[in-house]
Amino acid sequence: MKLKNILLLFLAAALIVIAACKDKGTEPPVIKNPRDYNWTMDTLSLPGSAQTMMRSVWGSSPNDVFAVGHNDQGHGKIWHFDGNKWTEVRPSVNGAIDLFSIYGFSQNNIWAVGERIYDDPIKNVITDSSLIIHYDGTKWSEVEINRGGPLIDIKGSSPNDIWASGVDKTVYHYDGVNWTKDTVITQLFSKSFPFNSVASINGITYLIGLSMSKNYFEEDYFLSYKNNSWTVIDSLEVSSQPKWGSAFLWVSPQNILYSCGDGGIFKWNGNSWINVYPLSNIISKIMGTSEQSIFAVQSGHVFHYNGSDMYEFKQVANDNVIYIGLWVFQSDVFIVGYTLGGFPNNTIVLHGR
C-alpha cells in the first residue's frame, strides 16, 4: 500500500507540473492582429546635422535592426537598433557615400548598396558611382566592383543569389563568391534610366525601371531574366493607366511577386499583373508576413491590407513626413522616413507591435 501511495503521489506531482507548464506559456503565442498594434516613434539625428534621412530598413529580429540612408555631415549613414535604442554605426569605408537599400540573411551577413560620391575639381562637377558594402557581424566594409551608376535596390533569394539594381541601367549579381556587373542588359536600351527595384522568384529575376519615351513621357519597363537572358515583358507610358507598380517589387513568403507604385498594389500571376487594391497616389513600398497581411507606406501614411480591404493607421499619419522604408516581422513592423520642409530634416522610425 505504501508503494502504491508513493506512485500515486508521483503521478499527481507529474500532472501538476504538466499543468503548470501549460499555464506558463508552452502553448504557441497568440499572434496579435496588426491593426491593433501599439506604435512608438524614435527620432534619429546628429548634433549639427541639417539632414539625417534614412531610406531603407532591415532586421534579423526585432532586437537587431539596421537603417541606412543619408547624412549631410559625412557620417550617420547607418543606424542600429538593439531592442532598446538606436545607435549610429560608422562603416569602414573611406570617402563620401550615400546608402539607398539594405538586405540581409543573418546577423553576420548583411548587404547595403548606394553611391560613392566624387568631387571632380577639373570638370567642376560632382559624380557618383556604384557602392556595395557588407557586414560580417563585426564591421561594415566596401566590396571591390566594376563600378556603374548609383544603386537603388538590393534583394536576394539566398546568400548565393543576390541582385542589385540602379541608375544608368546598372545591374549586379552575386553568386556567393563574386559580384558581377551585367553587360547584356545595357544592350537592350540606348537611353540611360534607373532600375528602381529587383526581385528573384522560382529561378527568375525581375526588374522594373523607367526611361524617357519618344514623346518625352516617362515609360515604365518590366523585365525578366531566365537562362542567362533578359527579356522585356512589357512597357507602358506613365501617362497611361498603370498596369503594374514601378516603385518596388516584393516577394511574399508564399513566393508570389507583388509590385507597388502609382495605382496601388499589384500581383503577378505568371503572365499578367492583377491590381489587387487600387489606390490614388504612389505606394512607395510594401511588405508583409502573408498575402493576408501586407503593410504599405504612401508618403506620410501607413496602411495594412488583409487580402480584402485596406486599413489606414490614422494615429501615425503625418503629412510632414515621407515614409519610405519598411521591414515586417511576425509580431513587429519598422517603418523609416524623414521630415519635410525646413531644417533639420530628421529621420522618423515607427515601431508597431
Torsion-angle region of residue 342: left (phi > 0), alpha (psi -120 to 50) or beta?
left
pLDDT tens for residues 214-242?
554 567 889 999 988 899 898 877 666 77
Would you say the pTM of this structure is higher than 0.85?
Answer: yes
pLDDT at site 65: 98
Strand partners, 80: 66, 87
Average pLDDT over the chain, rounded to whole? Answer: 87
The DSSP annotation for 73-108 comes to: TS---EEEE-SS-EEEE--B--SEEEEEEEEEEETT
Separation of alpha carbons 130 and 97, rounded Å = 10
pLDDT value at residue 26: 55
Instruction: Answer yes or no: are the C-beta atoms of 57 and 28 closer than 8 Å.
Output: no
Nearest to 103 by CA among 59, 138, 137, 69: 59
Which residues are CB-neighbours of 119 under 8 A, at least 6 positions away?
Answer: 96, 126
- What whole-number distance in Å separates Cα of residue 35 and Cα of residue 219? 36
pLDDT on residue 238? 63
Which residues of the chain fall below pLDDT 70?
A: 1-29, 119-127, 189-192, 211-218, 238-240
pLDDT of residue 93: 87
Fold of the 37-352 domain:
Methylamine Dehydrogenase; Chain H (2.130.10)
pLDDT of residue 220: 84
The whole-number pLDDT of residue 336 equals: 98
The CA distance from 142 to 131, in Å, is 8
Contact 195, 170 (CB under 8 A): yes
Other beta carbons within 10 Å of 181? 16
